[in-house]
Chains A and B, each alone.
Chain A
């Protein structure tokens, strides 16, 4: 880009200095707050006060952070699911649907199995069943991709709509197993009490948050240290090299997609053992599966960073929605603009971490 006789160029950095990892995110947030602040000022809201409220309601107050962690728990899982697949260049867009299937599968286990299990086993079995059904939901796209190279983007995306209609069918379209038999109102049937977790104190944070964070740490460590982690990263960088080195590309592709689906399914199962306790069509309105892709991208597919970006995303949502609770309420649409600004600048900031900005004086050539 040229401005006058200055040429502005982006030059890729070979290495990023450590300080940039701090300056870029902080600078991105500052930029987002400036842009958001202009928006707020134009619509008659005090920018500083509004941001203070957003941060208080989303992050720093006890109620705010515990609400945020509650929403972030399944989001960490869908974020890990997306990060796990995307970093292998396998674009599983189906976390949303796999999460619904996890909800269905875990509710099934919570109703049908939990009563026959010793108390300590109920929750783990229900969570595992949810993970399993999430993985099963991605089985067909995974096989098609691994065996025939069919685009997993399209197939996983389309299955989201099938999953959505499946939930609707179980709750609204039929009166079968998943529906509360005690009322003619369309409601999910509650799972066994033994398969439910209670939240910490009177907060909305559930013990599943520990599992979610533990998974992030475990994946970070395992994928760095294990042969499996090495093989998948070779496959991602160069499928031919992987093949030449004798790695089984089919097996690796299958396993990555299935495990990604299992993580997304686990998100749905955590919703069931935690706050919902049933197949709850309310989950269809929240979009935690699609948000997981955003969270993973923000985290640059780094498992540990997924935890942070999921909390950031959830807090912006919680805080943003509750900006409507104020003497000068901020409309939800402006709250969404603020969230968008933060996310956009956070992604955009990456450009400056990876590239160097060069400004050079150039000779003006006078054209006649």
Chain B
């Protein structure tokens, strides 16, 4: 139901689209041209509230960075449900003269596409979607890189090698993260397994906590998760198990002994860059406006370490992180088998981004299944 599904880009050229699209022919000249920020009227639409200490919180931090950098005020709309009902919200924003409109949840995709066609002089940017138009762009990033690193911390912290993972929906983004986490864990603990529990929710603390408790009862001693709430961490703490967060590390201090680390987002640089481009006269939209950030450009990061991550493990993670950033290592490098034993990435091959963005298999070591086509 809720939110982001993510990712996707049609071509490799789109990967670093933000940097590349300045001179693109698909971009639009807009009323904001002139180089000053007075003409910018920016709004962002959230599925939840920044108080989630997770997904929306990190976007809000990025928006705050944008406000500080450009000296502008951004209008924030919270708790806007997805689907056709959200069309009214985007329509209202455009009608009120907002010319740069961000939407952070997957289910805003069709409404934003519809409204962007109606207000062709406004710039619409949509996180986690895949549809574009001359004035609709997308943005997301390679969380799987930091997921892999967090998996190393998880694998190293597990005496039994039995890990658990509380996951939202079996969609490519979540599957990719789960697989990267598993590959990271097995890189230091080859026998490790990751049991997955699907919750069918992005933010439902009670349900997510139950899922985490089920995994702990099944013997998992370290948990990872792909949710917007921190309920997994609460269940882990009560059971004395370690856990890996997601989205944000702002709550790390609340889990003194059990926090390991978390893949986190830093949206500030993208928001600033997109707004500056738009102020300079181009909306980073269209086919070339499909921004996919990563660790190298700082959109994706690994959060702070907890006290139970050893210096040795931290050093190993730092080494792998450096290799990911300089491009000498990619988490999805073969040989990789799926959990039914079929080879999915051949020895020495690196999975292309297009494959990653549509990922529909679970790697060896994951205990669980996803719907097949």
Chain A interface residues (CB < 8 Å from chain B): 57, 63, 67, 70-71, 165, 167-169, 172-175, 181, 183-186, 202, 204, 271, 274-276, 280-286, 318, 321-322, 324-326, 329, 331-332
Contacts and interface: CB of A to CB of B under 8 A. Distances in A.
Contacts, number: 108
A168 B200 contact: yes
Contacts of B76: 324, 329
A93 B358 CA distance: 40
A282 B171 contact: no
Nearest to B8: A185
Contacts of A172: 169-171, 200
Contacts of B93: 325
Given A173-B371, A202-B118, 9 more contacts: A63-B92, A168-B1, A169-B200, A175-B373, A184-B358, A285-B1, A322-B89, A325-B96, A332-B79
Given A321-B80, A324-B77, A185 B88 contact: no
Contact of B77 (A181, A284, A321): A321
A331 B78 contact: yes
9 contacts: A165-B200, A173-B200, A184-B359, A185-B5, A186-B5, A204-B91, A281-B1, A282-B81, A325-B43
A267 to B, nearest CB: 13
Interface of B: 1-2, 5, 8, 43, 49, 75-89, 91-93, 95-96, 98, 106-107, 118, 130, 169-172, 198, 200, 358-360, 371-373
Contacts of A280: 83-84
A62 to B, nearest CB: 10
A330 to B, nearest CB: 11
B288 to A, nearest CB: 20
A172 B371 CA distance: 9
Nearest to A329: B75
A63 B371 contact: no
Contacts of B198: 173
Contact of A318 (B88, B169, B360): B88
Given A173-B371, A204-B91, A282-B86, A184 B81 contact: no
A70 B82 CA distance: 15
In the complex, which of the residues B75, B84, B96 has the most CB atoms of chain A within 10 Å of its own CB atom? B84
B204 to A, nearest CB: 11
A17 B2 CA distance: 49
Contact of A276 (B83, B130, B171, B359): B83
A282 B107 contact: yes
Given A184-B358, A331-B78, A63 B200 contact: no
A232 B280 CA distance: 68
A276 B75 CA distance: 27
Contact of A281 (B49, B83, B92, B371): B83
Nearest to B174: A172
A275 B172 contact: no
Contacts of B95: 63
